[in-house]
Amino acid sequence: MKERLHKLPRHWISLVILIVSLMPASYVLARTDVPAPTFQSPPAGILGYHTVQPGETLYCIARAYGVDPTAIATTNGIVSPNLIFPGTVLAIPNVPKTLPAGRTCPRQFGGGTPPSGCRFTHVVQSGENLYRISLQYGVSMYAIAQANNILNLNLIYAGQTLCIP
């Protein structure tokens, strides 16, 4: 084999090396014997099932039931926790965890530990703004914004339920 390589012009060898180096990794990896990734078995006990609604995140769902968002991802085989789709049905495992304040999704079933950090909930009425709501409860509008993951203090919607810390 070495003798045949030595007989090839040098530019041919360079060309073969270039072609191999430009091959996509998926082409090379698809032909190797690597075991498929496995997920840990789900934690014991499922509290119930939650259907993802538009705009929901694993953290907001986890806050609703007081469970660990990583456990939700593991239980449901979610590889990218930042990428969940509306309509997906998630099994909610019984893995309690206290999470920092933030947006909390509406519960779709009873169970789990209620989200902590909310002294009150407030349904936004037409014409209300965060400043007036903060005056009503004696809480900083910034604290309300942080508890509800609101980035634009001037943008809240009628019908939106706010957690009042």
Residue 139 maps to which CATH number? 3.10.350.10
Q: Give residue 133's pLDDT.
A: 92
* Residue 5: predicted pLDDT: 59
In a domain, 140, yes or no: yes
Tell me, yes or no, whether 86 lies in a domain. no
What H or E segment, with its residue span, contains residue 59? helix 58-65
149: in domain: yes
Does some domain include residue 141?
A: yes
Question: What is the per-residue pLDDT for 109?
Answer: 75
* Boundaries of domain holding 141: 120-164
Is 159 a domain residue? Answer: yes
Count of structural domains, the chain = 1
pTM for this prediction: 0.45
- pLDDT attached to residue 43: 45
Mean pLDDT by 10 residues, the chain (165 residues): 65 65 52 47 70 88 89 92 89 86 79 64 87 90 85 85 83
- Round to whole Å and give the CA distance between 100 and 147: 9
Q: Does 3 fall in a domain?
A: no
Instruction: For 112-128, give one letter per residue: b (16+ CB within 10 A) or e.
Output: beebeebeeebebeeeb
Beta bridge partners of 120: 164
Residue 26 is predicted with a pLDDT of 47
3-state secondary structure of 46: strand
In a domain, 144, yes or no: yes
Residues 89, 99: Cα–Cα separation, whole Å: 22
In a domain, 35, yes or no: no
